[in-house]
Amino acid sequence: MADVLTVPQVQPVQPALRYLRVIPGVLLLFAIGYAGKLLEQNVGGYAKSHHWTFPNIEYVLWAIVLGLLISNTAGVPEIFRSGVATYEFWLKAGIVLLGSRFLLGDILKLGGVSLVLVAIEITGSIAFMTFLGRAFKLKPKLTSLLAVGSAVCGVSAIIATKGAIEADDEESSFSIAAILALGAFALFTFPVIGHFLHLSDKAYGLWAGLGVDNTAEATAAGALYSDAAGKLAVLVKSTRNAMIGFVVLAYAIYWASKGKAQVVGNKPAFLWQKFPKFVLGFLLISVLATYGFFSKDQVGALANLSRWAFLLTFAGVGLRTNFQEMRKQGLRPFAVGAIGEVVIAGFTLGLVYGAGKIFGW
């Protein structure tokens, strides 16, 4: 009985502690992001004053590289971990605020094009990853998780699908490790390929939004190219994210029909539960900005707030990427994921080229 009575006494303290626990990690995100911003401002100037040839490296890359260095050398101490995990929160808040920089007409125009491309990308990616998983004789549910992760929105999609199809922890951690490793790889290769192919901001932004799996990495890969490409990458990626509910529902129905997952009762409620709410926030802020709710200066202030939120996100992307941890997961999911991602990157690049020809970009 004593055990039963002590639980309620402890519970009220937990929420407060949970919020306090994130403070050191959030401060670390801020410190790394701000250090990246200072490095962007000062390294280029210092190199110029000493007549050195040094590329102009943006704060995005500095923040990610600083985070990667800490994560893969000293590691992230326990006290910072829960705060570092808030980078997803800053990412989503940043995307909502970024809505102020889009006029509703632009969203409808670009969103319409990207919706068609996203539908083709999702169908093609799921079909190819399913084929690849069968060819490599991966477990069927692991194949489903890898397909959803690479087709829709990386880790969030895998977590959502894991619950719906009742996949086990090993399958989901395999898929998450593969998607994260390949996301880190895409982060550095996409901008290089984009510059090599002389892609316009529009074409590159579309490609990054379609081809990079995780929202944080897609945002960073876009921002590494240019501000305009970053904006478009976020819009296209958000369109992909909006599809998550439909794809997860389709998988849940498929596995339930095989008797290997629970039947989904209330489908509209299921779709609403899985729908990424930040997409609605993004649209709401865009509608408000379009109809003059904010002055020009206020739109500028909201855009800067969004940049600060992304600054914390980019630091978090570097800090949570630990190559040693990923290596522990084994090579098999990486092999399937890597082949799939290379093919999907080529496929989405082809889609973007095709759309460019049609729309004259």
Partner 1 sequence: MSAAPNSNANAVKAGQRWKLSLDSWAVVVALLAALLVRAGIFKHIPW
Nearest distance from C-beta of residue 12 to partner 1, angstroms: 11
Place of tokens 């009762």: 265
Start-to-end CA distance of the chain, whole Å, equals 71
Nearest distance from C-beta of residue 315 to partner 1, angstroms: 16
- Among the candidate windows 69-77, 259-267, 284-292, 353-361, which touches partner 1 by CB under 8 A? 284-292
- For 60, 77, 87, 189, 217, the CA distances from 27, given in Å and listed in that order, are 17, 13, 11, 30, 21
Please tell me whether residue 293 binds partner 1 under the rule CB under 8 A. Answer: yes
- Among the candidate windows 164-172, 264-272, 302-310, 335-343, which touches partner 1 by CB under 8 A? 302-310
SS3 content of the chain, % helix, strand, coil (to 5): 80, 0, 20
Q: Residue 71: which residues within 8 A CB-CB, separation 6 or more? A: 318, 319, 320, 321, 322
Nearest distance from C-beta of residue 160 to partner 1, angstroms: 11
- Among the candidate windows 18-26, 116-124, 217-225, 287-295, which touches partner 1 by CB under 8 A? 287-295
- Among the candidate windows 50-58, 223-231, 294-302, 319-327, which touches partner 1 by CB under 8 A? 294-302
CB 17 within 8 A of CB 40: no
Question: Using the rule CB under 8 A, which residue among 302, 312, 315, 352 binds partner 1?
Answer: 302
Please tell me whether residue 291 binds partner 1 under the rule CB under 8 A. Answer: no
Q: Which is nearer to partner 1, 114 or 286 (CB)?
A: 286
Q: Which is nearer to partner 1, 5 or 16 (CB)?
A: 5
Nearest distance from C-beta of residue 360 to partner 1, angstroms: 34
Q: Which is nearer to partner 1, 85 or 343 (CB)?
A: 85
Nearest distance from C-beta of residue 350 to partner 1, angstroms: 32
Q: Which is nearer to partner 1, 202 or 240 (CB)?
A: 240
Nearest distance from C-beta of residue 99 to partner 1, angstroms: 9
CB 286 within 8 A of CB 107: yes
Q: Which is nearer to partner 1, 97 or 145 (CB)?
A: 97
CB atoms within 10 A of CB 232: 25
Residues binding partner 1: number (CB under 8 A): 35
> Which of these, 350, 114, 53, 103, lies nearest to 237 by C-alpha position?
114
Q: Residue 183: which residues within 8 A CB-CB, separation 6 or more? A: 154, 212, 213, 214, 216, 217
Please tell me whether residue 280 binds partner 1 under the rule CB under 8 A. Answer: yes
Q: Which is nearer to partner 1, 134 or 277 (CB)?
A: 277
Nearest distance from C-beta of residue 268 to partner 1, angstroms: 17
Nearest distance from C-beta of residue 50 to partner 1, angstroms: 27
Q: Which is nearer to partner 1, 24 or 281 (CB)?
A: 281
Q: Which of residues 30-89 bind partner 1 (CB under 8 A)?
A: 88-89
Please tell me whether residue 288 binds partner 1 under the rule CB under 8 A. Answer: yes
Q: What span, in angstroms and rounded, lies between the C-alpha atoms of 314 and 310?
A: 6
Tokens at residue 38, please? Answer: 């200072």
Q: What span, in angstroms and rounded, lies between the C-alpha atoms of 113 and 206?
A: 10
Q: What span, in angstroms and rounded, lies between the C-alpha atoms of 302 and 65?
A: 27
DSSP letter, residue 360: T
Burial class (CB in 10 A: 0-12, 13-18, 19+), 290: middle
Question: Using the rule CB under 8 A, which residue among 16, 198, 265, 297 binds partner 1?
Answer: 297
CB 181 within 8 A of CB 284: no
> Which of these, 231, 232, 193, lies nearest to 345 by C-alpha position?
193
Q: Which of residues 111-150 bind partner 1 (CB under 8 A)?
A: none
CB 146 within 8 A of CB 340: yes
Binding site for partner 1 (CB under 8 A): 1, 4-5, 7-8, 88-94, 96-97, 100, 276-278, 280-281, 284-285, 288, 293-294, 297-298, 300-302, 304-305, 307-309
